[in-house]
Amino acid sequence: MRIALFITCFNDTLFPRTGQAVVTLLERLGHEVVFPLEQTCCGQMHFNSGYHDEALPLVRRFARVFADEQLIVSPSGSCVAMVRDHYPHVARESGDPELIEAVRTLGERTFELTELLVDKLGVEDVGAYYPHRVTYHPSCHALRMLHIDDKPLRLLRAVRGIDLVELPQAEQCCGFGGTFAIKNADTSIAMLDDKLRAVAQTGAEICTAADNSCLMHIGGGLSRQRANASALHLAEILASTEDRPFGVPQSGGASASIAVVRA
Amino acid sequence: MTTSASWADVPAFPLAAKAALADTQLRRNLGKATSTIREKRIGVVEEMPDWEPLREAGRALKDRTLRHLDRHLLELEASVQAAGGQVHWARDGDEANAIVTRLVQAKGVDHVVKVKSMATVEIELNEALEAAGITALETDLAELIVQLGRDRPSHILVPAIHRNRTEIRDLFRRTIGPATLTDEPAELAEAARRFLRERFLRARVGISGANFAVAETGTIAVLESEGNGRMCTTLPETLITVCGIEKLVPRWEDLEVFLQLLPRSSTAERMNPYTTLWTGARDDDGPREFHLVLLDNGRTTSLSDELDRQTLACIRCSACLNVCPVYERTGGHAYGSVYPGPIGAILTPQLAGMRAAGSLPFASSLCGACYEVCPVKIDIPTVLVHLRNRSNKERAAASLRGKLDPERLALKAVAKGFATRGRYERLQKLGRRGQWPLARGGKITRLPGELGGWTKARDLMPIPDQTFREWWMEREASR
């Protein structure tokens, strides 16, 4: 199947390995991945921060770039939620009938990675091998806007060698919230503190999720604490095999500086 | 408007929250209280096979009512009058306070008893009455604790949630006695009972709010747990009810939906202990005189905005407070409003304006837990984001400082930069090259200016040497 990758500006710039993992994984499963180079940003940051006039041209751009793609995947729950839940709202506010029409079917064609795998492609065992102790944090937008439920856990349970441990109080927000982490830094850090404590309780070396934004927050906290745990996007776990492990990143979550470890 | 839902002496949320976060006792109290009620709520909601349809029904009823509120309000007025009650219209808090003061003075009394009511706290009725020499006694236990301590409420349902029992014991010893009081909850409740009982029997005027007002019958409903509301609404000769115009439901049978939704969402009970319903006034039973004060105080402004409007569907259950990770950590006072938590973050700016409460729409990580539990499905995150947009716009229009806000300028520049592929890719390269003074030792541990909020407790990894698209293009070229 032809699948268009919507990488998100955030992953493109800060977490390129997550994108590489998505490509590796989907090609391994026999699909054709295309990457429209004209894509930039879905406008989520502007929309959620209250700059709707600035978000509008980005929404238009996204709708244009992905107009002809029938199946779009993104390794970001919150950006997919932006497209599916907020685009119709932005389009309606713009009063532009063409844009309203353009975003109408976009939400149905755009999938978060675990949704694509489980619902659309019908796989749970993606043939991954990842011999590490891992805990899963359900990021809020994936959980409450996309309702991805236990799809990530079903995929993770099928990974060979994995030691998957449940995160206490998993559904509590990590406190990221985009500009909230800066504007309300103290409250955000208080929330993060409880999340880090929960991660520590599991004894996991890896905290994973379907969103690198939350993982940057959790990973940034773990790094500051010099904790014996780090954050890693779920796509990188699912892309790992015996022959080609995606490696364990340094504490802090950014995985790009680590070379692919060849077994 | 001199009375508003916002407290002028409380700083913007980030600053108020910082102080609250340092109060470990408060955080412990709140953490315990909210997690207990959260668990309980899940239990009583999960046992309902039709909870989702009930929520849908609650929302649909509210939406429809709000769309035709003008008609329903006139119907309510006629029904109340037909049942022997009198109806007064108040554009704002000042008008409502003046009406109530006048009504109390006409009875020649200087003491009134009150049922817990958010609307009267919103308009600061007690303070207005006090200025006219009238003492208004709060009879809800938690509200009494707040009043005796000259404190402020910090939760919609449990206004004294920030106080523990030792603090309450000390307060009672100082105010209503006896001096030998221990911190046993039963003993504390008994002390309040004794103090209140005598006042109920003496009171000639009672003041209440309203949970619901039924337009077709003119019936007012008050739901409570302690029975103090029943006393206040049945014992005095005169009853005055202050009711926000959004509390209206068109038909008697509409109560069926809300009387199921409210207790389970609010106290996590299947049914609240006391539901008092009354229609007008009569000579042989209950108050002989009934006044209904219908309060606008900014509500019609919310009504006029398609997205804001849903805020008026709120039935004040406080489920959103109990699940909110921000509220759980900061408590209610940081919101600087009688309406704290997620619902307060959208309601207060609408009632009090952005100048007074412009920081509240930003006091959320948009985690969506509030929307998930709201019994009338108010999409709080969407309204928050809608209000953020308004707050930013108003700030930029109001002053040069607002216009030159660093976040605003940065996000505007980023939006421009992301408008074309060429500019976007140049920005990526620029970021990578420009980060070297910060990215020493493999991680960024200190950021300048506003961004420093991030590095207070979180490291940041530098931008990697190759973007995803560079990797992709390289791969495509080598194929």
Q: Is residue B386 domain-resident?
A: no
A149 and A113, same domain (yes or no): no
Q: Is residue B57 domain-resident?
A: yes
Taking the Cβ of residue A178 and every Cβ of chain B, the question of whether any pair is shorter than 8 Å is answered with: yes
Chain A partners within 8 Å of B414 (Cβ): 45-46
Domain boundary among the residues A80, A98, A120 is at A120
Q: Is residue A182 domain-resident?
A: yes
Q: Is residue A157 domain-resident?
A: yes
Would you tell me which residues 249-278 of chain B have a C-beta closer than 8 angstroms to some C-beta of chain A? Answer: none
Instruction: Give the nearest chain B residue to A175 (CA atoms).
Output: B365
The pLDDT of residue A257 is above 50: no
Taking the Cβ of residue B418 and every Cβ of chain A, the question of whether any pair is shorter than 8 Å is answered with: yes
* Region of poorest pLDDT, from A87-101, A240-254, B166-180: A240-254
- What is the side-by-side order of every strand in the sheet holding B274-279? B248-249, B212-214, B219-224, B274-279
Would you tell me which residues 455-474 of chain B have a C-beta closer than 8 angstroms to some C-beta of chain A? Answer: 456-473
Rounded to a whole number of angstroms, the distance from the CA of A162 to the nearest CA of chain B is 26
Side-chain-side CA neighbours of residue B444 (13 Å): 24
Domain boundary among the residues B253, B268, B300 is at B300
Q: State the CATH number of the domain containing residue A212.
A: 3.40.50
Distance CA B16, CA A261 (A): 48
For residue A211, give its domain range: 133-259
Q: Is residue B420 domain-resident?
A: yes
Q: What's the number of domains chain A is made of?
A: 2
Q: Is residue A127 domain-resident?
A: no
A137 and A255, same domain (yes or no): yes
Q: Is residue B365 domain-resident?
A: no
Taking the Cβ of residue A140 and every Cβ of chain B, the question of whether any pair is shorter than 8 Å is answered with: yes
The pLDDT of residue A10 is above 80: yes
Contact A224 B445 (CB under 8 A): yes
Position with higher pLDDT, A164 vs B284: A164
Distance CA B435, CA B458 (A): 17
Q: Dihedrals φ, ψ of B315, to 5°?
A: -105, 15
A137 and A48, same domain (yes or no): no
Q: Hey, of A14, A42, A218, which one would you mutate to test binding to chain B, going by the most B CBs within 10 A of its CB?
A: A14
Average pLDDT over every residue of B430-440: 90
Q: Is residue B184 domain-resident?
A: no
In this prediction, residue B404 carries a pLDDT of: 95
The pLDDT of residue A153 is above 60: yes
Confidence class for position A34, pLDDT limits 50, 70, 90 = very high
Across the interface, which of A145, A185, A252 has its CB nearest the CB of B456?
A185
Would you tell me which residues 214-243 of chain A have a C-beta closer than 8 angstroms to some C-beta of chain B? Answer: 216-217, 219-221, 223-224
Question: What's the pLDDT tens digit per position in B356-381?
Answer: 999 999 999 999 999 999 999 999 99
Q: Which two tokens stand for residue A5?
A: 């990758």
The pLDDT of residue B154 is above 90: yes
Distance CA B380, CA B364 (A): 10
Domain boundary among the residues A120, A148, A178 is at A120
Q: Is residue B6 domain-resident?
A: no
Instruction: List B205's β-bridge partners, or say none.
Output: B238
A27 and A106, same domain (yes or no): yes
Distance CA B42, CA B48 (A): 10
Chain A partners within 8 Å of B14 (Cβ): 183-187
Chain A partners within 8 Å of B385 (Cβ): 47-48, 50, 86
Q: Is residue B279 domain-resident?
A: yes
Confidence class for position B173, pLDDT limits 50, 70, 90 = very high
- What is the side-by-side order of every strand in the sheet holding A230-233? A163-165, A133-136, A206-209, A230-233
Chain B partners within 8 Å of A22 (Cβ): none
Provide the angle, in degrees to the nearest 10, between the axes of the packed helices A97-104 and A87-94: 170
For residue B439, give its domain range: 403-477
Q: Which two tokens stand for residue A256?
A: 């790009």
The pLDDT of residue B2 is above 50: no
Contact A49 B407 (CB under 8 A): yes
A142 and A105, same domain (yes or no): no
A189 and A234, same domain (yes or no): yes
Provide the angle, in degrees to the nearest 10, between the axes of the packed helices B185-202 and B165-175: 40
Distance CA B220, CA B248 (A): 9
Taking the Cβ of residue A192 and every Cβ of chain B, the question of whether any pair is shorter than 8 Å is answered with: yes
The pLDDT of residue B3 is above 60: no
Q: What SS3 class is residue B269? A: coil
- CA torsion sign for B128, B134, B138, B143 is positive
Domain boundary among the residues B251, B269, B300 is at B300
Chain A partners within 8 Å of B369 (Cβ): 140, 144, 171, 173
Chain A partners within 8 Å of B446 (Cβ): none
Confidence class for position A247, pLDDT limits 50, 70, 90 = low
Taking the Cβ of residue B419 and every Cβ of chain A, the question of whether any pair is shorter than 8 Å is answered with: yes
Q: Hey, of B305, B386, B461, B476, which one would you mutate to test binding to chain A, going by the most A CBs within 10 A of its CB?
A: B461
Q: What's the number of domains chain B is made of?
A: 2
Q: Is residue B390 domain-resident?
A: no
A111 and A137, same domain (yes or no): no
Question: What's the pLDDT tens digit per position in B80-106?
Answer: 999 999 999 999 999 999 999 999 999
Q: Dihedrals φ, ψ of A136, to 5°?
A: -110, 125
B410 and B293, same domain (yes or no): no
The pLDDT of residue A254 is above 50: no
Distance CA B171, CA A70 (A): 67
Contact A180 B365 (CB under 8 A): yes
Contact B411 A254 (CB under 8 A): no
Task: Say if CB A43 and CB B417 are below 8 A apart.
Answer: no
Average pLDDT for chain B: 95
Taking the Cβ of residue A6 and every Cβ of chain B, the question of whether any pair is shorter than 8 Å is answered with: no
Q: CB within 8 A of A208, min separation 6: which ones?
A: A134, A135, A136, A137, A152, A156, A215, A231, A232, A233, A234, A237
